[in-house]
Amino acid sequence: MKTLISAILICFSSFALATDASWEKSRVGYTIYYSGGYAETPFNDLNVPRYGTSITNVTWDYNELPATNTIVKLCYQKQYSHSNYECIDITGAPQGNSDSFNGLDARGTFQLYMRAFGDNFPIYSTQRLPDTVRVDYNF
């Protein structure tokens, strides 16, 4: 009986021990060649544990494009999927964070989506600095 109780207590105590971790990736964005064109920059980390991860916060830092009108979204794709599962509009917020993706699997891919309208194409970030996405998660 004592062995059974000890085994149950060990199982329940292991569930209570959540570990916090994070991954961060930086990539230089792509060139947009015409008005109405778009670019998607993927960010992911396959070193995240396979099962049991849960996003707790997402932070971004992107370089704005020199276009008249730009739409910027941060989208999440589930692992092994090529379609967006959830997107948030981050137009005009080149740095920020969100809890909109909380609870989703940290092994998914984030896409920084930029669509530009206006004149003077092709366009790209004039600084050619990398865009960055950081994902905090627990498991």
Residue 13 has pLDDT above 50, yes or no: no
Share above pLDDT 70 across residues of the chain, in percent, rounded to a whole number? 86
Residue 137 has pLDDT above 60, yes or no: yes
CATH number at 60 reads: 2.60.120.260
Work out the pLDDT band at 30, boundaries 50, 70, 90.
Answer: confident
Instruction: List, in order, residues 6 or more apart from 13 with CB less than 8 Å away.
Output: none
Does any domain span residue 6? no
Look up residue 106 and give its amino acid. A
Does any domain span residue 4? no
Q: What is the pTM of this model?
A: 0.83
**Strand partners of residue 138:** 20, 54
CA 65 from centre of chain: 20
The parent domain of residue 121 ranges over 17-138
DSSP 8-state symbol, 32: B
Residues written for the chain: 139
Does any domain span residue 1? no
Work out the pLDDT band at 91, boundaries 50, 70, 90.
Answer: very high
State the residue for tokens 């530009």.
116
DSSP 8-state symbol, 26: E
Instruction: Give the count of domains, the chain.
Output: 1
Does any domain span residue 2? no
Does any domain span residue 24? yes
Does any domain span residue 90? yes
Does any domain span residue 7? no
Distance CA 102, CA 69 (A): 30
Does any domain span residue 108? yes
Position 29 scores a pLDDT of: 86
Position 86 scores a pLDDT of: 97
